[in-house]
A and B are shown apart, each in its own frame.
Chain A
């Protein structure tokens, strides 16, 4: 390190500027703390402390947009005499969530698979065959979607709760796709593919990611014309009669309250772990791109024009 750098560092009291750049010296890379406050098979609530607002926001964005799931993406209709036309039905079918906890990691993206069309490594086949023979209106629900025998990928409403082998899921709320009159028939073959929420919202595994920080508005990131009109948050530290904490000019957004609710496709902990893995994968990819660019630059310099 040059002398003027050291002098400048000492003058500005930035001691970390003169030490070799290591993660432990980075004042930013402090040790975050995670506390899980609630966890069941539908929702996970947790608190992250000692991290920055941008990382917390990145987590929120990743849970919604970049966690891969399975959803129907290709439909071949054999027979459709229902009141809804083909693409209407195909759109509805795409929005049905499928349980894909263990499967989605093993599957490849269909565009990366070297098969011709679809195979077991990149897709899950879904079939349905429904018709109406009696005078009553028949309802075609997600219960009628059939996946290959023994596959763990089923529409979410058909998920086995608990360990009962003969669990009767007729009490579950099945997703209504279309209603059929006597004589109408619906028969199709579809393939569920892996994708992310960025591409289409059907691949979004969350029902909502709630993200809160600074519940008492200490940092004044927002301004209330009448603070008393606003209800207190559940994470507040103020007594009942106070509505806003006094302004803290040196405060930093530090504690983030997350609540991630799943639509059934993935279990809540898996959404979060998968999201973090995706983030690391993106960073690794970007870093390797940077390396290849650097190498290209060096090679470019050697080429004789």
Chain B
């Protein structure tokens, strides 16, 4: 069993569960851990680290293997969150797949719960869009006399049963 400088047990590579993230509260101390995880880290699994924490209300997250696709809507959603004082993100260099996401919240809230709220709202939005799109496709197919696939039929049957 190996031990890192801060006393945490380092798991061997085979025992490490196949997930992406981890803490890097102190990148220097946990460097070895990060190195191990990133050497066999396939390039497309995203992960989230806390890079700087100036207190529970002011945190910079480092999101690895992410880009504007989720960070832009997340930033926009969090801007409307009543507890947020400042939110922004930047991509330090396009060659490196890293997003630095800065979040500052009012006293009495923590950054983690605000981020969690942001993710939840975004998931609602995209889930809602998916349902609306499926309904729109079904409606188009009905209006134009096209054959309905199995996926389209299910919500339609429920509707007719309700009536």
Query: A277 touching B22 by the CB < 8 A rule?
Result: no
**Which residues of A in the span 126-157 have a Cβ within 8 Å of any Cβ on B?**
none
Query: Which chain A positions have C-beta within 8 A of B75?
Result: 54
Query: Which chain B positions have C-beta within 8 A of A290?
Result: 48, 112, 115-116, 119
CB of A36 closer than 8 Å to a CB of B: yes
Choose, from A57-65, A69-77, A224-232, the stretch at the interface. Answer: A57-65
With the chains together, A289 CA to B77 CA distance in Å? 19
CB of B158 closer than 8 Å to a CB of A: no
Query: Which chain B positions have C-beta within 8 A of A46?
Result: 133, 136
Query: B129 touching A51 by the CB < 8 A rule?
Result: yes
- Contacts known (A21-B81, A54-B72, A282-B70); A303 close to B7, Cβ less than 8 A: yes
The count of residues in chain B whose C-beta lies closer than 8 Å to any C-beta of chain A is 63
Query: A33 touching B132 by the CB < 8 A rule?
Result: yes
Q: Which of A31, A37, A276, A291 contacts B130 (CB 8 A)?
A: A276
**Which residues of B in the span 103-149 have a Cβ within 8 Å of any Cβ on A?**
106, 108, 112, 115-117, 119-130, 132-137, 139-141, 144, 146
**Which residues of A in the span 285-304 have a Cβ within 8 Å of any Cβ on B?**
285-287, 289-294, 296-297, 300, 303-304
Hey, which bits of chain A sit against chain B, CB under 8 A? 2, 5, 9, 14, 16-17, 21, 23, 26-29, 31-37, 39, 44, 46, 48, 51-52, 54-55, 57-59, 61-62, 65-66, 111-112, 196, 198-199, 269, 272-273, 276-277, 279-280, 282-287, 289-294, 296-297, 300, 303-305
With A57-B68, A286-B70 already in contact, 19 other A-B pairs whose C-beta atoms are closer than 8 Å? A17-B82, A23-B120, A26-B77, A29-B125, A32-B132, A34-B129, A39-B146, A55-B125, A57-B72, A61-B68, A269-B133, A276-B129, A277-B130, A279-B126, A280-B123, A280-B130, A284-B123, A292-B21, A293-B112
